Amino acid sequence: MTEAILGLLATVAFAVLVVMLVAACTSHRSRRDAAVRAISLLWELVWSAIPWVIMIAAAAPSVVSIMR
């Protein structure tokens, strides 16, 4: 039962990540200079990744505990 819930939560988290990355990539289709657009996209992706790293670091001990 706990593995099923963990799998469901992982699936939802992955879906949110995909939607967030697609939104970040598609929102930069403007008429700005290509170099500025690339740097802006890079920073947006970095700032999008930081919460995911924090979430994974916080959830890792719980996942290990559940799997035991």
Q: What is the pLDDT of residues 2-56, one digit of tens each?
A: 778 788 888 888 888 888 878 777 766 655 666 666 677 788 788 878 888 888 8
Q: 48 by DSSP, 3-state: which?
A: helix
- Domain count within the chain: 1
Residue 68 has a pLDDT of: 80
Sign, Cα dihedral of 44, 46, 51, 56: positive
Domain that holds residue 49: 2-67
Residue 28 has a pLDDT of: 60
Please, are residues 6 and 60 in contact by the beta-carbon 8 Å criterion? Answer: no
Please, are residues 6 and 63 in contact by the beta-carbon 8 Å criterion? Answer: yes
Residue 32 has a pLDDT of: 61
